[in-house]
Each structure stands twice: as C-alpha cells, then as structure tokens.
A = this chain, B = another copy of it.
Amino acid sequence: MEIKIVKTTTPKEKPAANALGFGKYFTDHMFVMDYSVEKGWHDARIIPYGPFEFEPSCMVFHYGQSIFEGLKAYKGADGGVLLYRPYENMKRMNRSNDRLCIPQIDEDFAVDAIRQLVLLDKDWIPEGEGTSLYIRPFVFGTDNALGVHPSHTYKFIVILSPVGSYYAGGLSPVKIWVESEYVRAVRGGIGAAKTAGNYAASLKAQEVAEKKGYSQVLWLDGVEQKYVEEVGAMNIFFKIGGEVVTPVLNGSILGGITRDSVIEVLRGSGYKVTERKISIDEVHEAYKNGKLEEVFGTGTAAVISPVGELCYKGEKMVINNNEIGEVSQMLYDTITGMQKGAIEDKYNFTYKI
C-alpha cells in the first residue's frame, strides 16, 4: 500500500529544549490509516498533525477498545536517525490487537510508515542528553454505535512528541510504593496487552501513592497479592545475592522491550539472569539479610530507573543506600549508548532509517 503524503503549509515553532517534558508537544505531521470490513486497512496517509471529528457515540469513548505502543527515535552521533527495536513494538502491537479483537496490522508496513513519518519530521528530534522523539502508534474502534461488541471500523494513528530527559538532574533513584490493596491485572485478563483499560485501572493507586510521597506503584499479582508483577509503566528487576531476577511473563505482565533488552545485555555481559515468580516476602527477606543489592525498573520512558526505596505495608526498604547501583548504571550507559549510536550495538537493537 502506498502512503500518500500531504505536507503542512504552516510548520509549528519548536519548543525550547528545556521546556520539553513528556508528551506535551507534537510534531508537524502524523500517520493515519483506516480500517473497514470491506476494505481492510486502507487510505494510508501522512498529513498535518491536527484534530479529527468524532461522534459522541464513537465506540472508543464507551468501551475502550483501544491499544497503543511507545518507542523512541534518536539523533545518532553521525547525524543519522535511529529507531530502537521498532519491529518488537509492532509485534507487541499485534498481540495487543489480538487480545482486544482488533484486526492485525502488517508489521513491516507499520515500521515503514513510522520510518517515513520520523524522517519527514526529523528536525523535531531533540539532541540534548537524555532527550528523544517519542513515537506513539495507537489503534481504536470508531463505530458510531452503542452495544458491547468489537467495532467494525478502526483508526491506526502515529503521532510524534519530542521529549525531555526523564531525569532532569541525571539518573537518580525513585521511591516506589508496593500496592497491597488495588490490583492492576490478573491471569486471564488484559494485563499483558498494552490497552487503555490497564492504565485507567492504575490511576487510583498511583494517586494514593503520590500523596504518600512515592512516584510509582509496584503491582502484586491479582490472585494471591503476593508475587511481584511490574511498576506503572516499567518492568522490575532485583539483584539478590549476586543474581539478577525478574518476574516471569505470566500472562498478566506487559512484556517490556526494555526488559527483554536488559536480559540480553546482562547475559551478554556475563550476569546470571533468572525469570521466575518472586514473592514480595522473598524481597523483604533478602532486604533483612542484606542481600537485596539493587532494584531497578525498565521501560521506554526512563530506560533504567534505579529504585532507592520500596515501601510495603508501612515498612520502608532503603536499597543500596539510595544510590545508583553498578548494574543499573552499566545498563543505562550501555542501552542509551546503543540508542544514540555512541557505542557499538552487538545485539542488533538499533535500526538506522
């Protein structure tokens, strides 16, 4: 399918590097494609970024049949543009589509659409330390009808947002609240899909945690509320007695692409990494015995987030003296280095466009 391109005649002014933040500004163009039962995916186009008209009966407002992805583009050391593992994001998008009864999207075509869009708006890629161009592909049902069933029409849209460094003052440890009341997801549910409802479900606990001074929530499993699952928008890793462990993908955890990269890089660097069930009691036990050496989150937004404190049922566990651990720092340097093309990418993660 050919992508029709309509360029803007009124390019916007680009925001100042220090005002970027996350997801506040959008570039001059977006990619759009429509789906109908008769035509399949059709009318692929790159057009000026702008609003759409939606009827109030449009399904997405009512039933949340909607999925999204998140990845980043970087300006390379040599001036080229690099994407980070875009095919992995498109594969995950299709897994989410399947769980939400949304039609599949050709992954090669989608990566090519992203490539063309990013190249058109490449002057929007910020260059400061820790900055990047965030890419948000998303799909949602657009039938104008009430009644709970899969939509017959969809929109696939990709928008781009230049984003600032996640850590204003450089990499620094975060405080995390272990949630023992609210639950995000359960096996048999939609937790493994990147779908709107999971994020809606997370808002309340996040609000409560923030009021207590914690920046994120660590979710426990929905069945026993005992096993560690993941953080708001990150997967989680523990270094216990020299071994790195992370919760196994059990059907209610999102399979992070950074998580996958971290496992590969650690193994490639000689670390032992185990994916398995980890109870919060085991973490606490390791803490008491002085064996909880490092904790960190992994995700596209921050890449690596060292965890300085975990609070579970009122008990605070201060990790590694609230300092950045050795493994966290190594992973951050290695992955961000590859993303920017500053260090050799022996894993084939980056995709030059």
Contact = CB atoms under 8 A, between A and B. Distances in A.
A101 B204 contact: yes
A229 to B, nearest CB: 12
Interface centre among A57, A99, A147, A199 (most CB of B within 10 A): A57
A157 B68 CA distance: 25
Interface centre among A26, A182, A184, A197 (most CB of B within 10 A): A197
Contact of A66 (B61, B146, B159, B188): B61
Interface in A42-96: 49-57, 60-66, 68
A161 interface: yes
Interface residues of A, number: 65
Contacts of A146: 22-23, 134, 136, 161
* Total copies of this chain within the assembly: 2
Contacts of A106: none
A144 to B, nearest CB: 8
Interface centre among A63, A65, A232 (most CB of B within 10 A): A63
Contact of A62 (B22, B196, B203): B196
A145 interface: yes
Contacts of A195: 64, 197, 200
A148 interface: yes
A351 interface: no
B23 A202 contact: no
Contacts of A138: 56, 61-62
Contacts of A189: 182-186, 201, 222
A38 to B, nearest CB: 19
A222 B196 CA distance: 20
A149 B206 contact: yes
A60 B63 contact: no
B66 A199 contact: no
A174 interface: no
Given A183-B186, A189-B186, A200 B197 contact: yes
Interface in A1-24: 22-24
A100 interface: yes
18 contacts: A22-B147, A23-B57, A52-B54, A57-B161, A61-B138, A61-B196, A62-B138, A63-B199, A63-B203, A64-B64, A101-B207, A148-B199, A148-B232, A150-B203, A190-B201, A196-B196, A196-B197, A222-B223
Interface of A: 22-24, 26, 30, 49-57, 60-66, 68, 99-101, 134, 136, 138, 140, 145-150, 157, 159, 161, 181-190, 195-204, 206-207, 222-223, 225, 232-233
Shortest 6 CB-CB distances between A and B: which pairs? A197-B197, A23-B146, A64-B196, A183-B188, A64-B200, A63-B199
